[in-house]
Structure 1
Amino acid sequence: MAPTQYKVPPQLPPKFTATKKSLIDDTKRLIDRSRSVQDAVVRDVQLDSATFANTILPMTQDDNKMAIEAHIISFYNAVATDKELRDASSEAEQLFDDFGIEASMREDVFNLVDAVLKKKEELDPESQRLLEKDHKSFIRNGLSVPAGPKRDRFKEIKQRLSQISIAFSKNLNEENGGLWFTPEELHGVPGDTIENLKKGEGEYEGKLWLTFKYPDLFPTLKYATNAETRRKLFIENENKCNDNVALFREAILLRDEGARILGYDSHAQFRIEDKMAKTTKTVNDFLADLRTRLAPGGKKEIEKLMEFKKQDTKENGLTGPLAEGYYLWDHRYYDRLMLEKDYQLDHQVIAEYFPLQTTIQGMLKIFEQLFGLVFVEIVGEEDRAALAEGGKGSDIVWHEDVQLFSVWDDDGEGTGFVGYLYLDLFPRDGKYNHAANFNLQPGYIDENGKRRYPATALVCNFSKPTPKKPSLLKHDEVVTLFHELGHGIHDLVSRTTYSRFHGTNTVRDFVEAPSQMLENWCWTPSQLRSLSHHYSYLSSDYEAAYLQSSGAEKKPSDQIPHSLIAKLISTKHVNDALFNLRQLHFGTFDMAVHEPASHKELEKLDITEKYNALRHEISQLSGPEALDGEKKGDWHWGNGQATFGHLIGGYDAGYYGYLSSQVYSTDMFYTIFKDDPMNGAEGRRYRHTVLERGGSKEEMEILEEFLGRKPQTEAFYKELGISQ
């Protein structure tokens, strides 16, 4: 039972009762209202009388109100079980995007914004930042190009890129492919994965349907002893969305054309100008330096892994081409084998200590202690119905699996309401198939000076519970959950005046840093132990199932043993060079396709070949191109770029940010938290200095204020084990 002060939030949660018709009707209503606000500003304000209050503020307040509904309308495409709803959400998103392009290219509005900027009114810092960002946005959306054919072409490009983005994402979310395997072909795959697979009938009698969803894909690549099974699965997964190949190519070409219309040398130059890195040279130098430092380590790691492979193939009598090299489909398998043999570390055993629900509770407790928060789960029809304004309790979630929390400040922070947190953790057809945080409603100050509170959702794809086991998290899934929850906390505790800067609305090469920093808590012994709770203690049924499956005479300790934690932590950087080289491949490929020497060069570029050849060159892992047979020397065996949602969904010429923001995150952790990770005073200072600001202030200034100096790379390279 929640304490009285945390029972009745001052703001009701959103409802998820949309229909196909209402999604489109509401979208059109919001667009009409927004257009009328812009029209009114243009009609009523003259250039010489334009001010922040009569020009910028009305449109910004409309943006605030639009976001409250628009984010949820678009969210249905990621989570709705009904395909008609997902389709309507995609259609609505297209309408929003088309209107956004129209609004961003209104010269009559831009002239007024330009007049306000030139007036140089004295504004508070966030309002000044809003004005400057709005002004720059018009220029970056084509208004620096004289009216005429070029500007018209730029608008066409923007509209087509929007269509591509929506179609690309939809193809990924609705991908439902897989492969039929016999139980023998899946030898070694954990039983809880096998239990969840669909059993074949008719011509597929005796076979099991393995999808490309993470809870099927990763355990199979890690545990299947059959190299041919892993090879086949890996290649088919790379080809699961080949409809996106042409869309990706078209997007790359259009982005380059659009950037050149605006006077930039490349799309990368256009995108990075507005980020912390500022120049493509900064990014390319960073990636090249990291590659130079990591490459020798990657080579050594492969040599050691190859020793394991030789021993494994010898013991199992494997011969032929698949037994000879070290391939992309080998890595998860032999990486796991090395951890088990060299470090006596069995990730299946570790997972037994991290049932999903108790791990979530443990994480929330950490955030409570660190940031001064209180999480109150809203369960049961009665409590949910009380927040549904006369509706049903199910109206305030989009699926029965979804958990909902009201989030509050603790006593030390004033017991005020913070917002709503949703957790949608299991895979289902049509659902977004990675792990991500979605803002459902931003926070801001409304026109009456009253705070509007945020709502945020974690969407993940962890394995579902079975009668014999709850959902158990591998350690890397614990890290993923912590990371995404970090984005959620950023979203929740943000305190900006305008929704434009709320939460994770920062530059892309900083946005990952707060979440990456929180991953460190998953490698801290005391926090790992506090998160753990062996699943056999959850119920008598689970206890009986554990004893039967393990053959043990009694349950293990409730919390994970110190010895197991020590083993786990000792593996943190095992094969780390190869992991980071994989990230480096993504970042380097992103820059390669977005920074061609000329548009003609880009037109000639074979993107699939570039993706696969660059992967081999950087990661040093071979694919089918290294095998004898029809694919020998051919880089066209897979189209990984067609599954690379980040590069279509906002990380274009920005994927380097996953690596560069680690510089900031590691510096923050080493400097402030490493010696005392649960220091509540520093946690609250971090909350108020970094997280609350969102994107309302220059990110570098935020960092420098928190660190007390400019950020440094020393901790980053030290953590990677590569000296400067």
Structure 2
Amino acid sequence: MFACRLCRQQQSWVRLLKNSLLRKSKVGSRLETFPEHRSRSVTTWSPLASAFNTRPKRRLEASGRNVGLFGMQELTSPEGFAEAQRASVQEAEELVQEAIRSPTSADIVVLFDKLSDALCRVADLADFVRVAHPDRRFAKAAEDACINISAMVEQLNTNIDLKESLQRLLDDPAIFSAMDEESQIVARLFMFDFEQSGIHLEKAKRQEFVRLNEEIHILGSQFVQGTQTANAIEKKRLPQHIQHSFAVDGDNVTVGSLYADNPSDLVREAAYKIFLFPNPNQSQLLDRLLDSRHKLAKLVGFSSYAQRALRGTMAQTPENVMEFLTMTGDRLFDRVTKEIELMKETKKECNPHNPNIFAWDPSYYIGAARNKRYNITSAEYAPYFSVGACMEGLSLIFSNLYGVTLENVEAERGELWAPDVLKLAVTHETEGVLGYIYCDLFERSGKPQQDCHFTIRGGRRLDDGSYQLPHVVLVCSFSPPRPGAPSILSHGMMENLFHEFGHAMHSMLARTRYQHVTGTRCATDFAEVPSILMEYFANDYRVLKQFARHHKTDQTLPEELIARLCASKKQFSAFEMQTQVFYSILDQMFHGEEPLKKPTMELLSEIQNQYSCIKHVPGTAWHLRFGHLVGYGAKYYSYLLSRAVASSVWHQCFEADPLSRDTGERYRWDMLAHGGGREPATLVQNMLGKKLSNEDLVQALLEETMEQ
């Protein structure tokens, strides 16, 4: 209840916290090798761009007072986590007693939020450190702190006296109705978290809730681990001429991926059938996970896990989600059929005897068709996207839209966890510093290979009227700069960077009274809107020409080049969207009112054959590799719905003038400033001047698939 809603990438104990909303991470592709140019290097980069285009020479053990990780004075050593945890728990216990003794008043919401903040102050930071700190002593100490604080959260979630103090406020119409909308929403959220924890149940059922919750956490972790496990097959069962394509282990070959980009049809087919061969243990884990989720939802009064998961979202109900998804799928069918025919034509040139498109073919032949039509490679455009240039571009966008700049500031001794992390101050032209973004952008041994956004400290209004500045971390895995050569990005990696900065700026620009609902701590299907919107800026030449410069020649990115790139991405967008619809419907069915009425394999086959133009391959179990079933349970649709909303906002508000200050200010104060403190559908309606129906959302997605 009292811990924050964190990033989808944070896959640990936070699933135990009843108000956690997992954020989506986008995994960037590996950086290609690009040819060296003999021309001169750019010497006119801004200080911000220069900071990211050269490798920092900072030494973490430099002299001066050690301020501790993120400036938390206790964290000068791994042992400091225990001290920080004790201080956090002591403060929380004092706030609990104050909240219980407090007379019925609106101040109870402030006390609850202070209690949440006291725990999040250590919990959020520790959850990042445990996965990202290169010193395993720090990582282990952080993990222990996570476990211990989660135990206290469980106690708070079942503290009846604490719940009753909040209930008295909700039951007093005179006081409650006089509260502002954000306070009312936060009060209801805290009560919902109590209810989701089964506090209102009799003792035996409450104990059953705790058992199911623990079981769901364990099963989910085991299932995700199983999605990455390679499968083995006797070498002799494969044609001899393709055995060398896989890892050989004695008499067996092991297959740990789909080999989707391998030019051999036979290699891709073998990999698909071997890697996706049903694992009985993995199937049993999924069955138990879905059954436990269903039982937990029923225990606390919901008809399905999906109904429980969708409360408070823009979609609101499973019925709305299914209407949106099925309508989208139906409208896409004809376009996807045409795209499949184009894949067949491309395949026929390579394999005239069998031009049909099978489940293992799309990725390869989509790439081949795009290359044939648009003849574009990363080597052409990536030199224009040095990390420094992209950071300069982001600062330019934010300056134009919000009057905000990104400034590289010197971190103090002990504040950082790796020498190439850079600290940015997000500074408004009149409001001053709005918060800090720590950029951990370059790969290193042992670092998570995902692009993601972590909230370290949420913003909130303090008692003296000042504002607690938010701190966030952005994690990417770009190749680091080399002497005389900056890190350069593919366009997809640049999009990912812009996407994650959309999350970061949501956190920076939010000005909520309560940290419990600040920034990205909002409904999942709304939290992705600001990040997806930033991808449109990454594809608009009017924006790109402001900063995309060749890191050797200083030449501006040619418009024709980005036009071809954007057109190539549109070419098979209907097929790619149909795949997301299929995944989302499967997720809904797995978490519906009768999740195990049919075996999951049978349901997979039915849903795929009905909603995808690529039919199910008997004897394969793609869903047993779908780790998002754990992190996104019943919410995988969020990506599509968020894209529909972001598309509507872009085309109606930003497309005519993407760097308009008037539009940026309205977007900031109508949408971003409120975090989760107002109903997300209301925020969207205020921005667009109308409520988006499912018809509107579907039409927005269809327009995204239309080639220029």
Q: TM-score range with shorter-chain normalisation?
A: 0.7 to 0.9
Aligned with 1:687 (options 635, 647, 668)? 668
Q: Find out whether 1:261 has 2:299 as its counterpart.
A: yes
Alignment partner of 1:142: what SS?
coil
Alignment partner of 2:453: what SS?
strand
Note closer, same or farther for the CA distance 1:507–1:72 as it changes in structure 2 (3 Å cut): same
Would the aligned equivalents of 1:248 and 1:648 in 2 still touch at CA under 8 Å? no
Measured after TM superposition, the shift of residue 368 of structure 1 is 2.0
* Rounded Cα–Cα distance in structure 1 between residues aligned with 2:282 and 2:81: 26
Note closer, same or farther for the CA distance 1:12–1:638 as it changes in structure 2 (3 Å cut): closer
Q: Find out whether 1:398 has 2:417 as its counterpart.
A: yes
Alignment deviations for residues 471-510 of structure 1 (CA, whole Å, 9 cap, x no partner): 4322222222211110111011111111011001111121
Note closer, same or farther for the CA distance 1:243–1:15 as it changes in structure 2 (3 Å cut): farther
Aligned residue in 2 for 1:33:
91
Note closer, same or farther for the CA distance 1:203–1:126 as it changes in structure 2 (3 Å cut): closer
Would the aligned equivalents of 2:286 and 2:624 in 1 still touch at CA under 8 Å? no
Alignment deviations for residues 574-601 of structure 1 (CA, whole Å, 9 cap, x no partner): 111111112112211210110042xxx6
Aligned with 1:711 (options 684, 692, 699)? 692
Q: Find out whether 1:699 has 2:705 as its counterpart.
A: no
Note closer, same or farther for the CA distance 1:420–1:235 as it changes in structure 2 (3 Å cut): farther
Alignment partner of 2:208: what SS?
helix
Alignment deviations for residues 229-286 of structure 1 (CA, whole Å, 9 cap, x no partner): 5556667876999987655443322110011112221111122232222221111111
Q: Find out whether 1:478 has 2:500 as its counterpart.
A: no
Cα RMSD (Å) = 3.8
Note closer, same or farther for the CA distance 1:332–1:475 as it changes in structure 2 (3 Å cut): farther
Alignment partner of 1:648: what SS?
helix
* Rounded Cα–Cα distance in structure 1 between residues aligned with 2:92 and 2:121: 13
Aligned with 1:285 (options 319, 323, 330)? 323
Aligned residue in 1 for 2:469:
453
* Rounded Cα–Cα distance in structure 1 between residues aligned with 2:109 and 2:634: 30
Note closer, same or farther for the CA distance 1:233–1:430 as it changes in structure 2 (3 Å cut): farther
Alignment partner of 1:275: what SS?
coil
Aligned with 1:76 (options 124, 129, 147)? 129
Query: Larger helix proportion, structure 1 or 2?
Result: 1
Aligned residue in 1 for 2:24:
none
Alignment deviations for residues 414-446 of structure 1 (CA, whole Å, 9 cap, x no partner): 151111112222444543333221111111112
Note closer, same or farther for the CA distance 1:464–1:589 as it changes in structure 2 (3 Å cut): farther
Q: Find out whether 1:619 has 2:603 as its counterpart.
A: no
Aligned with 1:491 (options 474, 490, 507)? 507
* Rounded Cα–Cα distance in structure 2 between residues aligned with 1:396 and 1:243: 44
Aligned with 2:110 (options 57, 60, 79)? 57
Measured after TM superposition, the shift of residue 680 of structure 1 is 1.4
Residue identity (%): 23
Aligned residue in 2 for 1:595:
592
Question: What are the equivalent positions in structure 2 for 1:76-475 lying under 5 Å apart?
Answer: 76-120=129-173, 121=175, 122-145=178-201, 147-164=202-219, 221-222=260-261, 224-227=262-265, 230=268, 247-313=285-351, 325-378=356-409, 383-384=410-411, 388=412, 392=413, 395-410=414-429, 414-464=430-480, 470-475=486-491
Measured after TM superposition, the shift of residue 66 of structure 1 is 2.6
Alignment deviations for residues 103-127 of structure 1 (CA, whole Å, 9 cap, x no partner): 1222221112111122231223322
Note closer, same or farther for the CA distance 1:422–1:114 as it changes in structure 2 (3 Å cut): same
Would the aligned equivalents of 1:517 and 1:666 in 2 still touch at CA under 8 Å? yes
* Rounded Cα–Cα distance in structure 1 between residues aligned with 2:483 and 2:358: 36
* Rounded Cα–Cα distance in structure 1 between residues aligned with 2:277 and 2:489: 27
Aligned residue in 1 for 2:653:
672
* Rounded Cα–Cα distance in structure 1 between residues aligned with 2:348 and 2:280: 34
Alignment partner of 1:274: what SS?
coil
TM norm structure 2: 0.79
* Rounded Cα–Cα distance in structure 2 between residues aligned with 1:637 and 1:508: 25
Q: Which amino acid aligns with 2:576?
A: F
Unmatched 5+ residue regions in structure 2?
1-45, 49-66, 234-240
Highest RCO, 1 vs 2 (Cα 8 Å, sep ≥ 6): 2
* Rounded Cα–Cα distance in structure 2 between residues aligned with 1:422 and 1:580: 33
Q: Please, which moves more after superposition, 103-112 or 610-619?
A: 610-619
Alignment deviations for residues 441-478 of structure 1 (CA, whole Å, 9 cap, x no partner): 11111233321101111222334557896543222222
Unmatched 5+ residue regions in structure 1?
4-10, 190-199, 538-556, 626-632
Would the aligned equivalents of 1:94 and 1:163 in 2 still touch at CA under 8 Å? no
Q: Which amino acid aligns with 1:108?
A: D
Note closer, same or farther for the CA distance 1:575–1:255 as it changes in structure 2 (3 Å cut): same
Would the aligned equivalents of 2:461 and 2:512 in 1 still touch at CA under 8 Å? yes
Alignment partner of 2:454: what SS?
strand
Would the aligned equivalents of 1:176 and 1:429 in 2 still touch at CA under 8 Å? no
TM norm structure 1: 0.77
